Structure 1
Amino acid sequence: METEILSEKELAELTGYKARGYQRRWLEERQWHFVESRGGRPLVGRQYACMKLGVTLEVMPVAPPPMPTPSWTPDFSRVK
């Protein structure tokens, strides 16, 4: 299962650089938003990267499930 953050290998493949400083510079020059980890690694979200690269995600419309039919109904005939 893929994580929500690009891996180091994927980020190196995207930017063409293994060094974190060059990766940050590449991202900044292209106006990509990223967050740095404590170790200085740029963290890029997978969905954000797909959006920036123009990859469209297939969205399936989800219809709410039908309401269940009640097993009983109240008898209001004797209420005044």
Structure 2
Amino acid sequence: METEILSDEELAEITGYKARAWQRRWLEDRHWHYVESRGKRPLVGRLYARIQLGTPVEGQNKPPADIPQWTFDLSRVR
């Protein structure tokens, strides 16, 4: 079962850094919200990370694919 907070390995994979200081810098540069533990480990919520990365969240409704696209029509303008 997954925890609500990203693991050290997951955070290193997302940021590309194993050092906590560089992970915090990466998160700050991209305006990600996080909380620091007593050991200065950045704690990032799993749901927040999925939203930031654009990963679909379970139970989230997808928009219907058959919605017609609106187009700008100037054919009746004089």
Common topology (TM > 0.5):
yes
TM range (shorter): 0.7 to 0.9
CA distance in 1, matches of 2:30, 2:48: 13
Q: 1:16: which partner in 2?
A: 16
Q: Which runs of 5+ in 1 are unaligned?
A: 62-80
**CA separation in 2, counterparts of 1:36 and 1:15?**
16
Structure number with larger C-alpha Rg: 1
Aligned residues: 61
Cα distance change, pair 23–60 in 1 and its aligned pair in 2 (3 A): closer
TM-score, normalization by structure 2? 0.74
Where structure 2 has 5 or more consecutive residues not aligned to the other structure, the ranges are 62-78
Q: Structure 2 CA distance, aligned partners of 1:5 and 1:33?
A: 12
Alpha-carbon distance, 1:60 to partner: 6.9
Distance 2:2 2:34 in 1: 18
The aligned amino acid for 1:22 is W
